[in-house]
Chains A and B, each alone.
Chain A
């Protein structure tokens, strides 16, 4: 893993960037990368007692190593500020242990970050390697740029998603006190040993139960509470709609990318020089980022709604358990056998169910508020970006129309025109 210094395209600061298999990859320093994309949910990092962020990440062939940085005023931690390296699998371990913890059954566990997917850039890299002999120098450079940009986009997304996961945890009044969470943040050794132990202990049993019991349970159980009845209907319906919207938004993004790729090929044919294009590409990438905002927003809330649904399932199961314990109690009373155990069991089930209902109600209400705020923020930002980019583009176009009309530099203008189109 060779790290070489270079200049950031955005702030021109001298930052360390990484080399991805021989290609100089990142065009920006990490700070600028993060400032270009915004968080999908609300500003989570505003409680000064526990501030978490991912300031850096390295990518090796298959694995991404995140640097998790914590700043805290809480005495439960050994130091006020520290960083640890973590892998994606560590995040999954943390998520799963939280899900398996009985005490948190009444909470919406923030959805686990999806695995970093570098399949797209990897494919492109293959094509690049294979076609190197047959492509012209310009085409090769172009494809390399495409590859870099795509890699950058995937990288940004995956860091964002992992960061949000941690920030959701740190802002949750109950979850942020979890012992495993603290270990995750603080433990300066490799977590892989713990991960293996955890797998052996639980074996994913609980999770499998949830997955299979699923729809049958949630629709079969008779709801006693209006609030939950409404929420159930709403969430089930909303989930299918948002899933559909996410898929359609992804298709839209892909079409936009195809168009951008076409323009890259066109400008390659016209032999436009590199420096000019990379400037325009900055614009181009930022413009497509805004599309990603919409897609990412939808995708994230799809997962979040799944987590909310999981909460409903757990409550529904608790309700089913309670009803079963009632039936068992009645049977015991009939048979006059083991009555105290049955009574105790019934009491436990009732308590558990009540606890779940109470915390569930709180969680779902705050979830709705969170969702509305996040949608608002992202929709506003997306609209503002669209307007800004359209204005910049149209001013450039106007400029070039005048330019063409006043000179005979046709080929030059023709090339410019093509570059402009890359923006759309």
Chain B
């Protein structure tokens, strides 16, 4: 017999909805000021892909898979306890989050490459930030890119993890513009739509970013100035590329004395995560491809089996073979749907996180840059002080005053540098904690959804084969 629901763990109704995104509002400050370190520590323990605990849990010896693997109860209770605290410390769970979704409207006609795809962004919210409860606007792809670049320029350098926007695809978009009404261009449009939707949702889930005026404008105002600088071949685009290259070089030359073990550990953690997610992503992409292949092969087999059934002269066997062909065809359709689920749930999720991890690493780099700036101004201050001492020795009163002024300026700069560094470190700690929690939630809900699709596929397969069985038995 099958073993289901073998444990009654605490609040079993703790669905993903309960742990949904936190609202923002005045109470938000409490979340970010004095980190209850447990919340974040818990998040990190859960999510390290190579935690040694996991192996212990998994190697339950040669018992068959169906034996209930009850996790140690010590694992369950404290976490759920924390989760509860979660909800209350996050204040208002009566002020629910902002939910939005995207619909593709249509291809706005224009001559040749000037045509563009318009997306309808609908927002539903109960937050006082917005003027209305439900509203929609029309946006195009470059608008999304423009939003991202604005947010990045404002928040990246102070340590906020800004979700990256979906990538441009000249090839894909060209096909759509040319007007090819085929499978691949439909898929491309759907892929882009869902990617944009996920991007916006992630941006909006960030408590700070949500309140940014650019975001609000993006969601609310009907007219939006064209973001020209996002064009790939524009001067701004080239500048971006140059800056990226310069950054890469700089990163290699900065040698930071890491005094905080937390940062070192976290950076290593994200490096490992990056490698694993990339590998996983590649494997899942290969899986999607193979499943599509399987579905094609099943379809061609079904046709062949039908022909075989036709040429079979024993009537009952002939009928059974035709039935077999039908079953295989239906299952092939199932496999195709499953391939889509594989893709949209797993592959895209993994792809998103690969890009997100890059953004996280970028934030760490920003911290290094800030540190460098602070160090630089400190060194300058040192030099100036030495110069001042020299001047005093040589008794040059007018230059001395200038030097003293410069020193005062530099001292302030150094203080500011230190403050900036501390601020960015603090922000990153919070951000990483929030990011990890979000990631766990994201993965968890996606995995559950994916498992549900698998389950459905299996149930359907059972139905089809059970319908076929009497036909096979009827062969006399």
- B65/A283 in contact, CB under 8 A: yes
Query: B261-300, CB under 8 A of A: which get 1 and which 0?
Result: 0000000000000001001100110110011011001101
| CB-based nearest A residue for B13 | A405
- Complex interface: stretch among A95-103, A108-116, A244-252, A336-344: A244-252
- A276/B60 in contact, CB under 8 A: yes
Question: Does B208 have its Cβ within 8 Å of any Cβ on chain A?
Answer: no
- A408/B46 in contact, CB under 8 A: yes
| CB-based nearest A residue for B453 | A397
Query: B419-460, CB under 8 A of A: which get 1 and which 0?
Result: 000000000000000000000100110011011101101110
Shortest distance between the CB of B319 and any CB in chain A (Å): 11
- Complex interface: stretch among A173-181, A185-193, A414-422: A414-422
Q: Which residues of B contact A376 (CB under 8 A)?
A: 317, 320, 472-473, 475
Query: A253-292, CB under 8 A of B: which get 1 and which 0?
Result: 0111011001101100111110110011001000000000
The interface size bin for chain A is: 35 or more
- A424 vs B287: C-alpha distance when bound (angstroms): 12
- Complex interface: stretch among B108-116, B180-188, B303-311: B303-311
Partner of A379, one of B65, B301, B320: B320
Question: Does B30 have its Cβ within 8 Å of any Cβ on chain A?
Answer: no
- B46/A411 in contact, CB under 8 A: yes
- A355 vs B234: C-alpha distance when bound (angstroms): 89
A279 and B64 contact, Cβ closer than 8 Å, known pairs A248-B300, A263-B287, A407-B76: yes
Q: Which residues of B contact A415 (CB under 8 A)?
A: 54, 58
Partner of A255, one of B9, B293, B452: B293
- A412 vs B404: C-alpha distance when bound (angstroms): 62
Shortest distance between the CB of B35 and any CB in chain A (Å): 19
- A275/B57 in contact, CB under 8 A: no
Question: Does B312 have its Cβ within 8 Å of any Cβ on chain A?
Answer: yes
Question: Does B49 have its Cβ within 8 Å of any Cβ on chain A?
Answer: yes
Chain A CB within 10 A, most for which of B291, B313, B451: B451
Question: Does A3 have its Cβ within 8 Å of any Cβ on chain B?
Answer: no
- B61/A421 in contact, CB under 8 A: no
- B317/A372 in contact, CB under 8 A: yes
| CB-based nearest B residue for A395 | B2
Q: Which residues of A contact B58 (CB under 8 A)?
A: 272-273, 276, 412, 415
Q: Which residues of A contact B457 (CB under 8 A)?
A: 424
Partner of B461, one of A258, A368, A386, A420: A386
| CB-based nearest A residue for B276 | A269
- B455/A397 in contact, CB under 8 A: yes
- A256/B294 in contact, CB under 8 A: yes
- B320/A375 in contact, CB under 8 A: yes
- A421 vs B291: C-alpha distance when bound (angstroms): 12
| CB-based nearest A residue for B64 | A279
Q: Which residues of A contact B14 (CB under 8 A)?
A: 405-406
Query: A138-153, CB under 8 A of B: which get 1 and which 0?
Result: 0000000000000000
Question: Does B135 have its Cβ within 8 Å of any Cβ on chain A?
Answer: no
- A270 vs B311: C-alpha distance when bound (angstroms): 49
- B459/A404 in contact, CB under 8 A: no
Main secondary structure of the interface of B (DSSP, over half): helix
- B71/A407 in contact, CB under 8 A: yes
- A405/B15 in contact, CB under 8 A: yes
Chain A CB within 10 A, most for which of B51, B65, B444: B65
Question: Does A25 have its Cβ within 8 Å of any Cβ on chain B?
Answer: no
Query: A382-399, CB under 8 A of B: which get 1 and which 0?
Result: 011011001111111111
- A275/B59 in contact, CB under 8 A: yes
Q: Which residues of A contact B6 (CB under 8 A)?
A: 399
Question: Does A154 have its Cβ within 8 Å of any Cβ on chain B?
Answer: no
Query: B458-476, CB under 8 A of A: which get 1 and which 0?
Result: 1101100110110011011
A251 and B311 contact, Cβ closer than 8 Å, known pairs A271-B55, A408-B440, A412-B58: no
- A262/B465 in contact, CB under 8 A: no
Shortest distance between the CB of A79 and any CB in chain B (Å): 41
Question: Does B50 have its Cβ within 8 Å of any Cβ on chain A?
Answer: yes
Nearest 10 Cβ contacts at the A-B interface: A395-B2, A255-B294, A394-B458, A248-B301, A376-B475, A379-B472, A262-B287, A258-B290, A245-B304, A251-B297
Given contacts A234-B311, A411-B48, 10 further A-B contacts (CB under 8 A): A252-B298, A262-B286, A266-B287, A270-B49, A379-B472, A380-B473, A383-B472, A399-B3, A406-B76, A412-B57
Q: Which A positions have Cβ atoms within 8 angstroms of B?
A: 234, 237-238, 241-242, 244-245, 248-249, 251-252, 254-256, 258-259, 262-263, 265-266, 269-273, 275-276, 279-280, 283, 368, 372, 375-376, 379-380, 383-384, 386-387, 390-415, 417, 420-421, 424
